[in-house]
Amino acid sequence: MTTANLETRDREPFSSFMLYHLLKWPVVNPLLRLYFCGRIYGAEHVPAQGAFVAVSNHASYADPPLLSCAVGRPVAFMAKEELFSNPVLRGAIQLYGAYPVRRQKADRHAIKTALTMLEQGWSTGVFLTGTRTPDGTITKPKTGAALLAAKAGVPLLPVSLWGTQEILRSGFPRPAPVTIRIGEPIDPPTSTTHSELDRVTQLCAARITELHNLGR
């Protein structure tokens, strides 16, 4: 799984697909649509079949479930390894697609795991800045998403999360208006050279920023 054009399954495991919908319809979707007055644009751009890398800006801990809800498919995200110390929680979040990453260091195991998830047909989520920014803007985008797309031979799906920085500003979730815009898929890099990864990363950043600037 270190070369491009991996043969992937059409979709994520059925058990994970079912858990996704069990959480989406009674919990996440009502919160997004009613409590956050959520608007979703561009859902028609989401590939119905096959793996892809969903790449977005990041301003809130609420971003992963909201993004996954918006694209209509389970999205596997890296999660801090401390969450996996609890065996009950570990089983639940792994079924939902989470996989551990060691923060503050390059984690080759996490990259290999992400490639495995793509091979299994998952859509995999990567925040372009690698961490939250106060207003959701993209600063210093990192090439990790492009690298995954290049190695797996799958497209990148640009997603803008607008307004999510207000959700947890006071600690308790606020009914802040949220808008999610999904752009057209971007072809994966043609190689893993630094210049090519940077080119595609900058293209992703520009597309997401363009969507984000549309606002509410």
Q: Is the residue at 170 inside a domain?
A: yes
Q: How many domains are there within the chain?
A: 1
Q: Indicate whether 35 belongs to any domain.
A: yes
Who's near 141: CB < 8 A, 6+ residues apart?
128, 129, 201, 202, 204, 205
Per-residue pLDDT tens digits for 27-69:
999 999 999 999 999 999 999 999 999 999 999 989 999 999 9
In a domain, 67, yes or no: yes
CA dist 156 and 95 (Å) reads: 23
Residue 45 is predicted with a pLDDT of: 98
Backbone angles phi, psi at 193, to 5 degrees: -70, 155
pLDDT band at 101 (very low <50, low <70, confident <90, very high): confident
Within-domain flag for 161: yes
8 Å CB contact between 121 and 42: no
Quote the pLDDT of residue 104: 59
Whole domain around residue 167: which residue ranges?
A: 14-212
Instruction: Tell me whether residue 9 is in a domain.
Output: no
Q: Is residue 96 part of a domain?
A: yes
Q: Can you give the CATH number for the domain in which 129 is found?
A: 3.40.1130.10
Instruction: Give the tokens for residue 7.
Output: 């043969």
**Rounded Cα gap, residues 173 and 37, in angstroms:** 13
pLDDT at 80 over 50: yes
Name the band, by pLDDT with cuts 50, 70 and 90, for residue 8: low
Is residue 137 one of the residues assigned to a domain? yes
Please state, for a pLDDT cut of 90, what percent of the chain lies above it. Answer: 72
Q: Would residue 7 count as lying in a domain?
A: no
Which long-range contacts (C-beta less than 8 Å, at least 24 apart) are formed by 142-145? 142/201, 143/194, 143/197, 143/198, 143/201, 144/111, 145/53, 145/55, 145/201, 145/204
Q: Is the pLDDT of residue 1 over 70?
A: no
d(CA 134, CA 61): 12
pLDDT average, residue stretch 198-216: 98
Question: Distance between alpha carbon 51 and the CA centroid of its chain, in Å?
Answer: 12
In the chain, the amino acid numbered 87 is P
pLDDT higher than 90, residue 92: no
Q: 87, 95, 89: which is closest to 15 by C-alpha?
A: 95
Predicted confidence (pLDDT) at residue 115 exceeds the cutoff of 90: yes
Asked if pLDDT for residue 5 goes beyond 50, the answer is no
